[in-house]
Amino acid sequence: DGGITQSPKYLFRKEGQNVTLSCEQNLNHDAMYWYRQDPGQGLRLIYYSQIVNDFQKGDIAEGYSVSREKKESFPLTVTSAQKNPTAFYLCASSINLAESSYEQYFGPGTRLTVT
C-alpha cells in the first residue's frame, strides 16, 4: 500500500446521503487518482488530479465530486446522484501524470455499501 492511506476501510450509508472517502499520500506525488472496482470489471477511472487545485473527470465521473486543496489529500465525495454507489473504491498516486513509466501506487481501498 506504500505511503497511501484510505479511510475508512468499510463504510455504510443510506441511500440519498452523500459520503466522503478520504485519501492521503506522503509520497510527495503530484498526480492522484480515484478508481472504482466492481466484480467482474476492470478498474474504472472516476477523477484524477495532476496538481493542487486542478482535477479532471475520468470515464465515470457522474455522481462524484473531488477536491485537491493540498498536495497530500484527494478526497472523493459520492453524492446521492450516483445511481449505483456500492463498490470498492481505490485511490492511487504517481510522481506525475505525463511520464508513462512512473508507477501508480494504490491505497488499501474503501468498501462502500449503500442500502
Partner 1 sequence: KNQVEQSPQSLIILEGKNCTLQCNYTVSPFSNLRWYKQDTGRGPVSLTIMTFSENTKSNGRYTATLDADTKQSSLHITASQLSDSASYICVVSRPTGGGNKLTFGTGTQLKVEL
- Asked whether position 104 contacts partner 1 by CB under 8 A, the answer is yes
**Residues 9/71, Cβ–Cβ less than 8 Å:** no
- Asked whether position 1 contacts partner 1 by CB under 8 A, the answer is yes
User: What string of DSSP letters covers 53-86?
Assistant: TEEEE-TT-TTEEE--SBTTB--EEE-TT-S---
- Asked whether position 101 contacts partner 1 by CB under 8 A, the answer is yes
Q: Which of 70, 81, 98, 113 binds partner 1 (CB under 8 A)?
A: 98
How many other C-beta atoms lie within 10 A of the C-beta of residue 110?
22
Site for partner 1 in 45-84 (CB under 8 A): 45, 50
Q: Which of 15, 40, 54, 83 binds partner 1 (CB under 8 A)?
A: 40
Return contacts of 45-49, CB within 8 angstroms, 24+ apart. 46/76, 46/89, 47/76, 48/97, 49/74
Helix runs in 1-115, H state only: none
Least distance in Å: CB of 93 to partner 1?
Answer: 11
Q: Which of 17, 20, 103, 113 binds partner 1 (CB under 8 A)?
A: 103
Binding site for partner 1 (CB under 8 A): 1, 4, 40-45, 50, 88, 90, 92, 97-101, 103-109, 111
